[in-house]
């Protein structure tokens, strides 16, 4: 008998229906539903000291869940540094020209600065400061930690903003001595072609608040006299009747 030949559609359908009737099926779905496979992979690999399959999976974890190789316990600074490595990779790994990563001392220094900021309910002054944050850093104005769900939500928002800022700063050319803004100013609406010179928009012979300028009726533009063409003549009564 060939191995796996019994796995027919009918057999799999019967096995699935049997699994759905088990008492543990509902609990299993409740555990994996919020985040799916990515979260379950992170939950299992981080405590075991295994490398995450994707740096973005760090959004499902907290520093205290990370262990060393073969599950070796790590000190709090070591856990935070390992956590920061994944966050840095998530933000900068896909950018063509990423900056050099900080040293351990630089990271811990910036981490303390960010903790003092978001630990009092204040927003990040620079979205890229999100690389030094962790979910349990987010607290209210009184220094009390938010709920676990809200902390993770705020952390994910910080990661999203940091990734967007990293991409934008990489795509925007930088000039020496010129400071770049945090966010790009949206371009204003512009015509796709040069404005016409043979017409004049609006009427200058009446005030700007006049009805003709506020709610212009057709025609919407007033022709301007050209030097190379005949002068525009007012319409006659016969022309008015024809137009009607």
Distances (CA, A) of 74 to 19, 51, 87: 39, 15, 18
3-state secondary structure of 64: helix
Average the pLDDT over 219-237 and give the result: 47
Query: Is the confidence at residue 203, as pLDDT, over 90?
Result: no
Torsion sign, CA atoms 143, 123, 91, 104: negative
Instruction: Confirm if 89 and 56 have CB atoms less than 8 A apart.
Output: no
Burial class (CB in 10 A: 0-12, 13-18, 19+), 125: exposed
- pLDDT for the residue numbered 140: 94
Q: Output 169 or 208, whichever has higher pLDDT.
A: 169
Residue 33: pLDDT band with limits 50, 70, 90: low
């Amino acid at each position: 008998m060939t191995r796996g030949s019994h796995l027919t559609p009918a057999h799999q359908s019967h096995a699935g229906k049997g699994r759905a009737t088990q008492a543990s099926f509902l609990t299993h779905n409740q555990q994996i539903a919020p985040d799916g496979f990515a979260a379950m992979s992170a939950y299992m690999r981080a405590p075991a000291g295994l490398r995450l399959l994707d740096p973005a999976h760090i959004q499902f974890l907290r520093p205290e869940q990370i262990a060393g190789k073969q599950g070796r316990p790590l000190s709090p600074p070591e856990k935070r540094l390992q956590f920061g490595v994944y966050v840095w990779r998530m933000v900068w790994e896909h950018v063509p020209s990423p900056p050099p990563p900080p040293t351990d001392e630089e990271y811990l220094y910036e981490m303390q600065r960010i903790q003092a900021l978001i630990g009092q309910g204040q927003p990040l002054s620079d979205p890229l400061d999100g690389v030094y944050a962790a979910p349990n850093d987010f607290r209210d104005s009184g220094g009390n930690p938010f709920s676990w769900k809200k902390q993770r939500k705020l952390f994910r928002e910080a990661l999203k903003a940091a990734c967007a800022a990293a991409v934008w700063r990489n795509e925007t050319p930088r000039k020496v001595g010129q400071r770049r803004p945090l966010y790009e100013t949206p371009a204003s609406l512009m015509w796709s072609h040069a404005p016409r010179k043979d017409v004049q928009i609006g009427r200058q012979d009446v005030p700007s608040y006049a009805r003709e300028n506020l709610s212009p009726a057709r025609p919407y533009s007033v022709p301007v006299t050209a030097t190379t063409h005949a002068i525009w003549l007012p319409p006659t009564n016969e022309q008015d009747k024809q137009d009607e």
